[in-house]
Amino acid sequence: MSFDIVCFDCDSTLSEIEGIDVLAERVGCGAEMAALTNAAMNGEVSLESVYAQRLALIKPDHQAINWLADLYIEKMVQGVEEVFQKLHKQGKQVHIISGGLKEAILPLAEKLNVAASNVHAVEVLFASNGDYLDYNQQSPLARNGGKAEICLQLNKAGLKLAIVGDGNTDMEAKKAGAFCVGFGGVVTRKIVQDQADVFVADPDLQAVLPYLL
């Protein structure tokens, strides 16, 4: 099957890290944060119930976001650049849809030749001195079902759309008619194995290509 639109999660899919967790480790509340993130990605609690709580704990300023942006690139999953090159070459619409922080993901997207307008993530609001103020609380990606909402917006023409990701929030895109490729190359979640249309456990992201092209 070949898809016209291919969407990717970022954390634990394009990069080996969970951005919110490494930001938490940086300020000394890593264990608490990882437990919250895992509960949300495993579908045990709603994303919206932990989103504000996580950011209130971390308060990531401009400097922290820049640090995370560099780390996303440094910890890129094996095969990511090759996957994006092949998809671009075949004229696919490629998007990144993430519940992560948009400003930290944009440099990775740029490296992969994904336009900023094709990056859908949660914007951080900063004070004039660079301190953390808030996040865009209206973003659908800070709540469950948000990825399905974005997929519907992207695919008004009813094209064939696939999404690749490691978490429960990615599988929710099925509600928008997405073909869901579960990626377990970084972390394997039973809920994703059970719900994905196809599940790939290979640590090299290129293993998803046969299902997309």
Positions annotated as catalytic residues are: 9, 11
Residue 61: both structure tokens together:
């300023």
Cβ contact 119:139 at 8 Å: no
Could you tell me if residue 24 is left (phi over 0), alpha (psi between -120 and 50 degrees) or otherwise beta?
Answer: alpha
Instruction: State how far Cα 124 lies from the chain centre.
Output: 15
Placement of tokens 């859908």 in the chain: 120
